[in-house]
Amino acid sequence: MTNNDAFVSLVDVSKHFGSVVAVDHLSFTIDSGEFFSLLGPSGCGKTTVLRMLGGFESPTTGEIYIDDAPMSEVPPHHRPTNMVFQNYAIFPHLNVRANIAYGLRYDKIEKAEVARRVEEALEMVKLPGFGERRSNELSGGQRQRVALARALIKRPKVLLLDEPLGALDKKLREEMQLELRALQESVGITFIFVTHDQEEALTLSSRIAVMARGKALQVASPKDLYNHPVSVEVADFIGQMNFVEAQVMDVHNGNAVLDAAGLGKITAPANSDFVRKSANLIVAVRPEKLVLSTERRSDGQAAVQGTLKTSAYLGDRNHFYVSVDGCEKPFAVVAAEAEASGEKPLDRESTVWLSWAENALILLPHD
Amino acid sequence: MIKATTENATPVMRSSSWRGRLHALYLRSDTLKGFTLLSPTLLVMGLTMCIPFGIMVVMSFWTQIGFEFDTAFSLVNYVEAVEKPMYRALLLRSLTISAICTVVTVLVSYPMAYYVAFHVRKHKMVWIILMTVPFFSSYLLRVFAWKVILGYNGVINSGLKGLGLIEQPLAFLLYSPTAVVITLAHAWAAFAILPIYISLEKIDRSLIEAATDLGDSPVKRFLGITLPLSMPGVIAASLMIFIPTVGDYVTPALVGGPDGIMIANLIQAQFGLVNNWPMGAALAFDMMLVVAVISLLYIWLTRKVTENIA
Amino acid sequence: MNEVAYIDRANRPLYFYAILYLAFLYIPVLFLPLFSFNDNIYIAFPLKGFTTQWYVTMFNDQPMWAALNNSLRVACVSSAIATLLGLFGAKAVTRYRIPGVKPIIFVIMLPMVVPLIIMGVALLILVTRLGFDLSLYTIAMAHVLISVPFAMATLMSRFEGFDPSMEEASSDLGASPWSTFWRVTLPMVAPGIVASFLLCFTISFDEFIMAFFLGGTDPTLPIFIWGQLRFPQRLPGVLALGSLILIISFVLVFFSLWLRRWGVEDTKSGI
């Protein structure tokens, strides 16, 4: 991707609060029209990045560009961004209509047009007729929509969202996620979204920046993050993952032969520089890529014997935990209902076989 | 993969003027903005407190002859303040009266604060306001009210006489240290209630519930949990009563009589009839030092005691 | 089993204590109005008869009106200045990261605990050494000094109760700092400003000792009253005046304390 598409750029941005380093030499770009998420645990710096984009904090070093314009001397009220705050920040002394119209005063739009746009905005967030209500007469979800309308009515180049769904209950949150995505697609504005919920990020985003300790660990699409994580930390953060220590015995033709703890001699695709002879690394495999059976499969696929420790029934799928000699932690295996019910029921402590396809294995460097 | 874009980034066009850079620096610094906003207040308070105080201390080392000040450094005033029996006695009396007043006020206000904190559910605000409002009315008038009440032909005496309970008016009521203590306690009670109430209100109710659950009696709960946790409020209240009352002028002047005057009246005289300003400054500073030392001792002592109870 | 939690059961003895306490708090003061209507130049029982003559005498007293006028002017000016300083200070302290903020707040709050006589003495010395005359201006200055802590405390609690992201949201939507102040901060802090003003006004209006030290030829009302106290025949008139002042300041302070809480989310009770 050429740089011409980069709509928002962070160039070596750091933020220090006294001696605390909240953001550590961050550099990445966001393209126009993307739904981009900043994902990470609390304290990773994602909200600080958002606030720097909005102009509420200034980077200690580094530069932020929006639409090719440097933002270092641009205060929040002159930036082409608008933000939906975590607790919505709906002005209690104004009604919904006045809240939504609040920012239009600075765009010098005449009254009739303002009224029309406010009505349009209310329709867009599915709150028609709520114009006269006040903040304390709205539910959490409704306030969130008002905050959205208030920000979007300004037609910003970038919309910043600070964990806007955090305060909602699960069902409402899932509804709102779909609505947000549909909204973004119809409006076409670049959304930058902060969340600590990886499922949410995977659902909504075109690309995600996984952050920890002020650094971006990996910036990629949800699919790439899931299937090709670059580190143990990222792999572990997104979804569930099994890890095994291994040493490389040989590398040729894009494949590596490894000696893995508990699994013995295995083969895996090798397409990174760190996969060299005698290197110590981690083999990772997703639970749904492991196949559980009561007998060893006859098709010659790589397999290992283990003992079933626990199983959990989750309605649409089963989670199994299998311990294998030589491996510290049990392997998590996810199997769809249908697959499991074909076999005879599995007892605790029964002997089982785990098998996998070679290209399901991911090689990761040691930390 | 993280895209490295530094090599393709457009050159940064920073504002070349020092003004622009200063402005950018200002925008970057949260602290700077905060300080600018705070500066008028800080300046006014700092100057109007520190400078006068400084000058007062300086003046205390001077002497006064007639209407002229002799600015030669001299410890004469302090020597006199410490050695002259009258000054010592007066300071001691002031401290004693304030101490008694503080103890009485805190003891009397604590149950009230406790009641509002723990046993009032509806209209807490009304109770709080009712408790505090008297403090903000004219101090002079409240003291005067007591003068009226305690006087020789005042309310108590004439009332008791009218009821036939006494023949002669009770003389000791007014113009005595007792009168000063009563009046001070009444006038400052409202001030004591607030800190105690706030610290009681802050106590986590679940601590008390847990204690009940574990079998503690109400008395034990109070002594073991409520009282120690409310100590910061009690300490604050004691200091907030003790420190100002030591230097009270109006009450001793109105209801104290010759036996009841306090150090403040003496200090005021230095600036009035006696016309010895450096002496007044010295006495004022002396009083301040003594009060500060006692307060610090008190804080240290109560900390020690609370640590040993807990 | 009662719905009321065990520890919150109503406590009869404490309740009576509380009522008694309030009674003792208010009754002595209530004697003032009581005797101000009493037809007797001596303030003593038994009550002789109802009269409003003391109020009439007071109304006709020219020096009293002059003193009242002085007090009003001093109180208005000092409250306005104190509230303004308290506003800036409260906003700075609650919205910005300032190192050493706790000692700074301590310094600003000091006048609340320092004996007024010390401050009166110190200011008197300063003012005279600088060569200024004692006047209503010096009194006003002293009143600003003792009012700022109260103004700041009132406004700090107001600012703390209102979400800083409101101002950020306003800024985000295009409002300049001035516009944000006018459209968001001020309306939301307004009750606190009024409360602070009323509180400072009452403090200044009733203040005696510093006015005593720093006053010149123009007396404030408390100074005037003090002067009247040495004349026994003037006492009932003083009672009349005092009663009115008490009632008005009670109402003002009640209102001001009420306003401090109005509109702020009641997440915790207490001041």
Q: Tell me the C-alpha distance between C81 and A42, whole Å.
A: 43
By mean pLDDT, which of A1-15, A165-179, B60-74, C234-248 is the weakest? A1-15
- The secondary structure of residue A216, as a DSSP letter, is E
State the alpha helices, DSSP H only, in A157-217. Answer: 170-187, 198-204
**Which one, of A25, A19, A16, lies nearest residue A62 by Cα?**
A25
User: Which letter does DSSP use for residue C50 in this model?
Assistant: B
What is residue A191's predicted lDDT score, i.e. its pLDDT? 95
Sign of dihedral through CA atoms B203, B205, B210, B211? positive
Are A181 and A299 part of one and the same domain? no
Q: Does residue C2 lie within any of the structural domains?
A: no
pLDDT of amino acid B27: 58
Q: Which structure tokens are listed for A137?
A: 């007469």
- Is C174's CB within 8 Å of A91's CB? no
- Taken in order A195, A201, A203, A206, the sign of the CA dihedral is positive
Domain that holds residue A173: 3-236
B48 in reach of chain A (CB within 8 A): no
Cα distances (Å, whole numbers) of residue A175 to A33, A162, A182, A203, A242? 22, 18, 11, 12, 31
Q: Does residue C269 register a pLDDT over 70?
A: no
Of C172, C188, C263, the CB nearest to A76: C172
Torsion of CA A76, A80, A84, A86, to 10 degrees: -40
Tell how strand A331-336 and strand A317-323 pair up. Answer: antiparallel
Note whether residue C26 is domain-resident.
no
| Chain C residues inside the 8 Å CB shell of A106 | 173-175, 179
Task: Give the pLDDT score at B29.
Answer: 65
Go through the domains of chain B in sequence order and give each one's CATH number. Answer: 6-60 (no CATH), 78-309 (1.10.3720.10)
Same domain for A38 and A108? Answer: yes
Specify burial of residue A11 (Cβ count, 10 A radius: 0-12, 13-18, 19+): buried
pLDDT at C40: 79
Q: Identify residue A221 by its one-letter amino acid code.
A: S
Euclidean distance between CA atoms C256 and B128, whole angstroms? 13
For residue C46, cis peptide bond before it (omega within 30 degrees of 0): yes
Q: How many CB pairs under 8 A join B and C?
A: 271
Q: Minimal CA–CA distance to A205: which of A237, A171, A180?
A: A180
> Domain check: are A316 and A256 in the same one?
yes
Task: Single out the residue of C115, C131, C129 nearest to residue C210, CA to CA.
Answer: C115
Q: Is A80 on the interface with C (CB under 8 A)?
A: no
* Each residue's pLDDT tens digit, C165-216: 999 999 999 999 899 989 998 898 888 898 889 889 988 988 999 999 888 8
Residues A271 and A229 in one domain: no
CATH number at residue A104: 3.40.50.300
> Is A297:A339 a contact under the CB 8 Å cutoff?
no
**Residue at a domain's end among A209, A236, A263:** A236
Q: Closest by alpha carbon to A86, among C160, C172, C97, C165?
A: C165
Which is it for strands A6-17 and B68-70: parallel, antiparallel or unpaired?
Answer: unpaired
Q: How far apart are CA A133 and CA A135, in angstroms?
A: 7
> How sure is the predictor about C2, in pLDDT bands with cuts at 50, 70 and 90?
very low
CATH code (residue A331): 2.40.50.100
How far is it, in rounded angstroms, from Cα C21 to Cα B114? 12
Same domain membership, residue A158 and residue A70: yes
Q: Confidence class of residue A47 from pLDDT cuts 50, 70 and 90?
A: very high
Same domain, A220 and A79: yes
- Chain C residue numbers with beta carbons less than 8 Å from the beta carbon of A55 are 171-172
Picking from B23, B33, B38 by the largest number of C CB atoms within 10 A of its own CB, the best residue to mutate is B38
Domain encompassing residue C82: 62-261
Least confident of A166-180, A280-294, B219-233, C255-269: C255-269
Range among A259-273, B88-102, C95-109 rated most confident: B88-102
Where does residue A316 rank: exposed (0-12), middle (13-18), buried (19+ CB within 10 A)? exposed
Q: Is a pLDDT exceeding 60 seen at residue A192?
A: yes
Interface of B with C in 22-81 (CB under 8 A): 30-31, 33-35, 37-38, 40-42, 44-46, 48-49, 51-53, 55-56, 59
Q: Report the domain count for chain A.
A: 2
Q: What is the pLDDT of residue C267?
A: 33
Place of tokens 């925008």: B27
Distance, CA of C158 to CA of C263 (rounded, Å): 9
3-state secondary structure at position A274: coil
Report if residue C35 sits inside a domain: no
Q: Between these two residues, C41 and B200, which has the higher pLDDT value?
A: B200
Running along chain B, 310 residues long, what does each successive block of 10 average in pLDDT?
A: 36 52 63 80 83 86 80 82 85 91 92 85 80 78 83 74 74 80 87 86 83 81 82 87 89 86 89 86 88 88 75
Check whether residue A167 and residue A147 sit in a common domain.
yes
Q: With an 8 Å Cβ cutoff, are A28 and B10 in contact?
A: no
For position B24, what pLDDT does the model report? 60
Query: For residue B268, what is the enclosing H or E element?
Result: helix B263-271
Distance set, CA A137 to CA A94, C163, C263, C264 (Å): 12, 18, 14, 16
Beta-strand relationship, A61-66 and A69-70 = antiparallel
- pLDDT-derived band of residue A286, with 50, 70 and 90 as boundaries? very high
pLDDT value at position A84? Answer: 95
Residues A125 and A257 in one domain: no
> Does C7 fall in a domain?
no
Residue C229 has pLDDT above 60, yes or no: yes
Pairing, β A207-212 against β A35-39: parallel
Q: What is the pLDDT of residue C268?
A: 33
Q: Does B31 touch chain A (CB under 8 A)?
A: no
SS3 C238: helix
Lowest mean pLDDT among A204-213, A245-254, B27-36, C184-193: B27-36
- Predicted pLDDT of residue B179: 86
The radius of gyration computed from the CA coordinates of chain A, to the nearest angstrom, equals 25
Q: Mean pLDDT for chain A? A: 88
Verify that A200 and A285 share a domain, yes or no: no
Same domain membership, residue A212 and residue A149: yes
Contact check, Cβ <8 Å, A27/B13: no
Q: Does A108 touch chain C (CB under 8 A)?
A: no
- Residue C71: phi, psi to the nearest 5? -60, -45
Under 8 Å between Cβ of A83 and A50: yes
Q: Domain boundary at A180, A201, A236, which?
A: A236
With b meaning 16 or more CB within 10 Å and e meaning fewer, what string describes B233-272?
A: bbbbbbbbbbbbbbbbbbbbbbbbeeebbbbbbbbbbbbe
What pLDDT shows up at residue A292? 84
pLDDT > 50? residue C250: yes
Q: Would you say residue C70 lies in a domain? A: yes
Among the partner residues C166, C175, C177, nearest to A89 by beta-carbon distance:
C166
Residues A199 and A267 in one domain: no
Residues A38 and A145 in one domain: yes
Which of A191, A158, A83 lies closest to C169, judged by CA?
A83
Name the closest residue on chain C to residue A159, using Cα atoms.
C172
Q: What is the total count of domains within chain C?
A: 1
Asked if pLDDT for residue A173 goes beyond 50, the answer is yes
The pTM of this model reads: 0.74
In a domain, C73, yes or no: yes
What pLDDT shows up at residue B25? 63
pLDDT greater than 90 at residue A15:
yes
Closest to C151 in 3D by CA, of C199, C115, C106, C208: C199
Token duo for residue B192? 């004591």
Is B284:C117 a contact under the CB 8 Å cutoff?
Answer: yes
- We report the CATH number of the domain holding residue C192 as 1.10.3720.10
Size of interface A-B (CB pairs under 8 A): 47
CB A282 within 8 A of CB A297: no
- Distance from C-alpha of A1 to C-alpha of B152, rounded to nearest angstrom: 99
Q: Pick from A181, A209, A236: which residue ends a domain? A: A236
Whole-complex ipTM: 0.81
The confidence score (pLDDT) of residue A14 equals 94
